[in-house]
Structure 1
Amino acid sequence: MFERFTRQARATVVGAQEEARALGHGWIGTEHLLIAVLRRPDEPGAATLVRLGADAESARAAVERAAGRGGDGVGEEDAEALRALGIDLEEVRRRAEDAFGPGALDRAPRPPDERRGTWAVLPFRRRGADRGRRDRGHIPFTPRARKALELSLRESLALKDRHIGCEHLVLGLLRSDDRLTGDLFARLGLEPETVRARVVADLRGAA
């Protein structure tokens, strides 16, 4: 399948790996693919998303809120729920670092739980050592990311294109039906079916 990818689409997949590493994640998910697509705002498909108000920075921020950035791994909504119970995460972190030194609670998040549709984290570990191992090794694609790539091939075939470009990656991501990808689009204020129709219309207009 990858031999059909355009140079831009291949660069997007590489960019997804870069985003995963930069966020301290040990997996490549649809969230990283989406950020990487948005890093190429002039490409077909990505340009439509940008025109609808999405960009790489906002997508990256949404992913950080949902999955964390190699830190405490607790999203904004979870933090608010804990505050309602009288638990102040910043105070917990301050006390831990006072007692055990800076970065005492740093840890690397694991991939979102595919079965439960939640963002989960591994037990505490040293961030630097763990990230070093990931930098030297292979970062796997999550099942939902692999499915999005397969869907991009189907989109290319449906459009009778001989290649898989960024536009097909976008359409494949928009067809993802898992809760995690849907949650990310919702955080960005994008409704997949509506956005998909706009992308297809833009592609037809440019043909």
Structure 2
Amino acid sequence: MFERFSGEARDVVVGAQEEARALRHERIGTEHLLLAALRHPDEPGAATLVRLGVTRESCRTAVSRVAGGGADGLGPEDAAALRAFGIDLDEIRRRTEATFGPGALDGPGPEAARDREPGKPWPLSALERLRGEGGGSGDRTAPRGGGAASGKGHIPFAPRAKKALELSLREAVALRDRRIGVEHVVLGLLRSDDRLTRAVFAHLDVDPGRARAEVLADRREAA
């Protein structure tokens, strides 16, 4: 399938690995494909997202909150459920960091905090480690140390990222395009129905259905 990708779309796939490595994530997910697509803001699909207010900076913030930090890596549905029980994650984080310093909740515990050098980033949170060690889903994002996430070796694709790329091929076929471009990758991402991808778009205030319609409309106008 990869030979059908345009040069820019190939850059997106390669760039997704770079994004995952930069974020110290163990697998390439849809969030990394989205970040890599936004490296080409003038390409169809990515240009539509930019017009809708999405930037690499806002996307990186959304990814960090959903997949690697923010409200302890929990999605908006989790945070809302906890608030229903009177638990406000943002307020807990604010109070904890006011007492122990920025990033305190991202550390694994007192021992790591004691040994941490001033100015150094906090280690992975316990929640991130558990997410990385939870077997079965194949969607681990947090590294357990070494390997691809530390800059060595190839980072594998998570199942949801593979599905998004397969959907991009289907989009190209449905549109009778011979090549898979950035717009097809974006369309594939917008069709993704996994929880993490939906949460990233929710943080970006992007409705996937509306954005998809906008991408197709922009494509027709450019034809």
**TM value normalised by structure 1:** 0.81
The Cα of 1:74 is off from its aligned counterpart by 2.2
Residue 202, structure 1, aligned to residue 210, structure 2 = no
The Cα of 1:138 is off from its aligned counterpart by 1.3
- Structure 1 residues 87, 166: closer, same or farther in 2, change over 3 A? same
2: distance between equivalents of 1:105 and 1:57? 21
* Conservation of the 8 A alpha-carbon contact between 1:28 and 1:141: yes
Q: Which amino acid aligns with 2:152?
A: R
Residue 107, structure 1, aligned to residue 124, structure 2 = yes
- Structure 1 residues 130, 74: closer, same or farther in 2, change over 3 A? farther
1:88 aligned counterpart, secondary structure? helix
2: distance between equivalents of 1:52 and 1:41? 12
Gaps of 5+ in 1: none
The Cα of 1:66 is off from its aligned counterpart by 1.7
The Cα of 1:130 is off from its aligned counterpart by 2.3
Report the counterpart of residue 81 of structure 1 in structure 2.
89
Q: Give the number of equivalent residue pairs.
A: 199
Report the counterpart of residue 181 of structure 1 in structure 2.
197
- Structure 1 residues 16, 82: closer, same or farther in 2, change over 3 A? same
- Structure 1 residues 143, 120: closer, same or farther in 2, change over 3 A? closer
Report the counterpart of residue 2 of structure 1 in structure 2.
2
The Cα of 1:82 is off from its aligned counterpart by 7.4
Residue 65, structure 1, aligned to residue 65, structure 2 = yes
Q: Which amino acid aligns with 1:197?
A: A
1:149 to 142, 147, 165: 165
Q: Which amino acid aligns with 2:201?
A: F
Equivalent residue runs for 1:3-22 within 5 Å: 3-22=3-22
Gaps of 5+ in 2: 80-86
The Cα of 1:83 is off from its aligned counterpart by 4.5
* Conservation of the 8 A alpha-carbon contact between 1:35 and 1:60: yes
1:64 aligned counterpart, secondary structure? helix
- Structure 1 residues 168, 120: closer, same or farther in 2, change over 3 A? closer
2:151 aligned counterpart, secondary structure? helix
* Conservation of the 8 A alpha-carbon contact between 1:97 and 1:104: no
1: distance between equivalents of 2:154 and 2:3? 20
2: distance between equivalents of 1:14 and 1:133? 15
